[in-house]
Amino acid sequence: MRRLILGALLCVPFAGHAESLSAVQACMQANVSKELRVHAFTLTTTESDGATRVISGRMALTSTQSAEGQFQLRAVLRVSQPDSFAGAAYLVREVGDPQDSAMYVYLPSIRAVRAVYDNFGDGALLGSDFSYRDLKQLQSGFSGSQLSLEGEDRVEGRRSFRLTLTPASGTWEYSSVKFWVDAQSCVPLKAQYLQGEHAVKELSVPATGLRQAGKSWYATQLRMNNLDNGTQTVLSLADIDAPKIPSPELFNVQTFFLPGSL
């Protein structure tokens, strides 16, 4: 979901000495793709009773950077399976003022586009354990967030930096997020989403699922566990060859849902 989705990297891997917060942030944000990336995606959600549901399709992402240095997401998701949901499409367009950002939903059953405002970012992504805001933070390298560097740990035997994100009051459903960034790729390998001292969700990214494209790294598998209700979702991504510059129709409210746009 960061180059995700979720991301990529444009810096040299860290050496053995301690690093500053600014250096870790710069390495994460160098992962953010301003070029178009298209993925085949599969969301597999497992309920607490073991029942599963699978949604698959295509996802296109890119980012623009504001004058203040914050990354603003453009994303389109189009569902191909299951048949009962095929043709549904989602467009996310962030602008400078978060209050003006919106998600647009196209439902083939009514052949109409609907705009969704008011905290759309906290809504479940296609009914999964990921929210749109979760993926936005991963895609943007946590741009515009208040971060603190807490120290170093090892995740899957790999040197990792431990950071804490503290959202501005009322801007996210979590009071803080703790995450561990791989020192080699600058991709988060683990995250805990907290309400007070209570962990609500936990993200894990297997190191075996990291991929490098040029100087960039990104995750091809992300697992989100909901610790409150016992559900979990695995987001799997596969690259699809696509132009680096999106067509005018792709992120257009009038055309994003048309078959030829993605």
Residue 29 is part of a domain; what is its CATH number? 2.50.20.10
pLDDT per residue as tens digits for the range 147-186:
899 999 999 999 999 999 987 766 677 889 999 999 999 9
Contact at 8 Å (CB) between 91 and 107? no
* Average pLDDT rounded to a whole number, residues 223-238: 96
Mean pLDDT is highest, among 25-34, 173-182, 219-228, for 219-228
* Average pLDDT rounded to a whole number, residues 34-61: 92
**143 lies in which domain range?**
3-261
Q: Is 210 left (phi over 0), alpha (psi -120 to 50) or beta?
A: beta
pLDDT of amino acid 247: 77
Average pLDDT, the chain: 82
Count of domains forming the chain: 1
- Rounded to an integer, what is the distance from CA 223 to the centroid of its chain? 12
pLDDT per residue as tens digits for the range 202-218:
999 999 999 887 677 88
Under the banding of pLDDT at 50, 70 and 90, the label for residue 125 is confident
Mean pLDDT is highest, among 140-154, 172-186, 192-206, 231-245, for 192-206
E-assigned strand segments in the chain: 37-46, 52-65, 71-81, 89-93, 102-107, 112-116, 146-155, 158-166, 176-182, 188-195, 198-204, 210-213, 216-219, 221-226, 232-240
